[in-house]
Amino acid sequence: METIIRKGKKEDMPAVLELIKELAAFEKEPDAVVTTVETLEQEGFGENPLFHVFVAEVDGRIEGMALVYYRFSTWKGRTLHLEDLIVREEKRGTGLGNALYKKVIEFAKEQNLKRVEWVVLDWNQHAIDFYERSGANILKDWYTVQMDEDGITKYVETNT
């Protein structure tokens, strides 16, 4: 079994989208994915790419991925956000997730970034335990705040 962890390419985006959909199902949101292969190709591989993706390839098939993008902290400077890290269900427990995680952390180190951050669902104890063992801090006094497309529209309409 030959395993390669590498930077993703435009032609990998159909497999990356499959993995995104698998992650959404795992997170109990199977119908939430609206992005497309075309969107991933445009936004990740245009003149100003919005993200980087690393893939785990086993015997020529993409079995996992980690998608990251830069953020800016007013306190720390440039940081990295790990949006998603997913390994196909049948390949979990083989070390691919750990290899992708390591690649992300190494990438942050190479880029001289001040922090890597991500979110984890409170019921995903396996992931929480893994992150804590790796030396990451789980911040329990911060909430993730989001406003979806409908909320944005309603806010703009009622505050103009």
Q: Which residues are catalytic?
A: 131
Please, what sign has the CA dihedral across residues 110, 98, 117, 87? positive
Phi-psi map region of 93: left, alpha, beta (phi>0 left; psi -120 to 50 alpha): left
Rounded distance between C-alpha atoms, residue 101 and residue 3, angstroms: 15
Q: Are 58 and 2 in contact (CB under 8 A)?
A: yes
How many Å apart are CA 130 and CA 120, to the nearest integer? 11
Widest pairwise Cα distance in the chain: 59
